[in-house]
């Protein structure tokens, strides 16, 4: 079984792939001080709670936070006796290498999303991921990541308003009843919700304007279903795109190894 680890700037997600389906998905806050032993305590407790018989033979990691990779490597080695594949490292092959400016370190989550989306939908895609940042990944006709857009994340924008303005409270993003808010919270929610609907629509329209072929738009990340309620922004919403991409990259590396 393959343990897929997607480590974002806010959350780290573990998911076990048995070759056909994901047996479970576990989420914890990303903290670079967490040790291999702490990961295992947390992981084994939840696996036991869900009564999952996990026989992990392989581990693949995508991490947007370089500092956490060391302890995750130790975790894989110590508890599963395996050397993990780490997306973005030279020894981890991508099915379709990125075409970007020389020296650019594309976020591994964006490479993984691109691989997952291409596997499911073929090329000519825009993948919109609502994580810590809101990212747009352009996947070319042949499956390569060829660039994109990075905008501030939705929760980050709300948090920035709260931090910078003394009278603005902490609020959660939601779809407001009306655009004209009649209290502070409703005003903030409207600004962020409709602001991001507009941001996504405008950026996708401009990407389509610069790109020479018709494109489909895939939404992913925790807030994609919420924003899909605001307008017709996406052709598809997929909550497991990053995890799926990790299984695709792992399978590709196994195939290459076997050659």
Ligand X SMILES: CC(C)(CO)[C@@H](O)C(=O)NCCC(=O)O
Residues that bind ligand ATP (CB under 6 A): 8-11, 130-132, 155, 172-174, 221-223, 226
- The verdict on whether residue 25 carries a ligand-binding annotation is no
- Shortest distance in whole angstroms from residue 241 CB to ligand ATP: 10
Nearest to 133 by CA among 164, 156, 110: 156
- The verdict on whether residue 181 carries a ligand-binding annotation is no
Cite the beta strand spans of 164-250 per DSSP E: 216-220, 236-237
Taking CB under 6 A as the criterion, the residue among 8, 95, 116, 123 binding ligand X is 8
Q: Which is nearer to ligand X, 84 or 148 (CB)?
A: 148
The verdict on 131 binding K ion (CB under 5 A) reads: yes
Cite the beta strand spans of the chain per DSSP E: 2-7, 11-17, 22-29, 58-63, 85-86, 125-130, 133-139, 145-152, 216-220, 236-237
* Rounded-to-integer distance, Cα 78 and Cα 115, Å: 29
Look at residue 38 and give the partner it binds from ligand X, K ion, ligand ATP, none, a contact being a CB closer than 5 to 8 Å depending on partner kind. none
* Rounded-to-integer distance, Cα 157 and Cα 138, Å: 24
The verdict on 150 binding ligand X (CB under 6 A) reads: yes
Look at residue 135 and give the partner it binds from ligand ATP, ligand X, K ion, none, a contact being a CB closer than 5 to 8 Å depending on partner kind. ligand X
Q: Which is nearer to K ion, 108 or 176 (CB)?
A: 108
Measured in residues, the chain has a length of 259
Which listed residue (18, 77, 109, 124) is catalytic?
109
Q: Which is nearer to ligand X, 173 or 188 (CB)?
A: 173
- The verdict on whether residue 9 carries a ligand-binding annotation is yes
Look at residue 226 and give the partner it binds from K ion, ligand ATP, ligand X, none, a contact being a CB closer than 5 to 8 Å depending on partner kind. ligand ATP
**Rule CB under 5 A: which of 3-32 touch K ion?**
8
Taking CB under 6 A as the criterion, the residue among 88, 123, 131, 219 binding ligand X is 131
Does residue 240 have an active-site annotation?
Answer: no
* Rounded-to-integer distance, Cα 48 and Cα 145, Å: 38
Give the SS3 label for residue 3.
strand
Whether 143 contacts 95, CB under 8 Å: yes
| Residues in a beta bridge with 86 | 61
- The verdict on whether residue 8 carries a ligand-binding annotation is yes
Any idea what the Cα angle at residue 224 is, between residues 200 and 4, rounded to 5°?
Answer: 120
- The verdict on whether residue 45 carries a ligand-binding annotation is no
Q: Which is nearer to ligand X, 152 or 191 (CB)?
A: 152
Residue numbers at the binding site for K ion (CB under 5 A): 8, 131
- Which residues form the catalytic set? 109
């Amino acid at each position: 079984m393959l343990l897929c680890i997607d480590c974002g700037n806010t959350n780290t997600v573990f998911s076990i792939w048995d070759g056909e389906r994901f047996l479970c998905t576990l989420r914890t806050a990303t903290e670079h001080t967490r040790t291999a032993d702490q990961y295992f305590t947390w992981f084994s407790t939840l696996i036991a709670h869900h009564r999952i018989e996990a026989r992990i033979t392989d581990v693949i990691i995508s991490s947007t936070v370089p500092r956490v990779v060391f302890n995750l490597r130790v975790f894989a080695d110590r508890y599963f006796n395996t050397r993990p594949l780490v997306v973005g490292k030279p020894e981890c092959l991508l099915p379709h290498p990125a075409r970007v400016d020389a020296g650019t370190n594309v976020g591994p989550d964006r490479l993984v999303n691109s691989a997952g989306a291409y596997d499911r939908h073929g090329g000519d895609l825009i993948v919109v991921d609502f994580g810590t940042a809101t990212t747009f990944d352009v996947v070319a006709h042949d499956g390569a990541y060829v660039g994109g857009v990075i905008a501030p994340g939705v929760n980050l924008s709300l948090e920035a308003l709260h931090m910078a303005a003394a009278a603005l409270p902490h609020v959660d993003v939601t779809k407001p009843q009306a655009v004209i808010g009649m209290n502070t919270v409703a005003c903030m929610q409207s600004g962020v919700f409709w602001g991001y609907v507009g941001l996504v629509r405008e950026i996708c329209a401009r990407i389509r304007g610069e790109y020479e072929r018709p494109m489909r738009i895939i939404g992913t990340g925790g807030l994609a279903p919420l924003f899909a309620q605001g307008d017709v922004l996406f052709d598809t919403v997929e909550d497991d795109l990053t995890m799926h991409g990790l299984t695709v990259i792992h399978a590709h590396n196994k195939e290459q190894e076997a050659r």
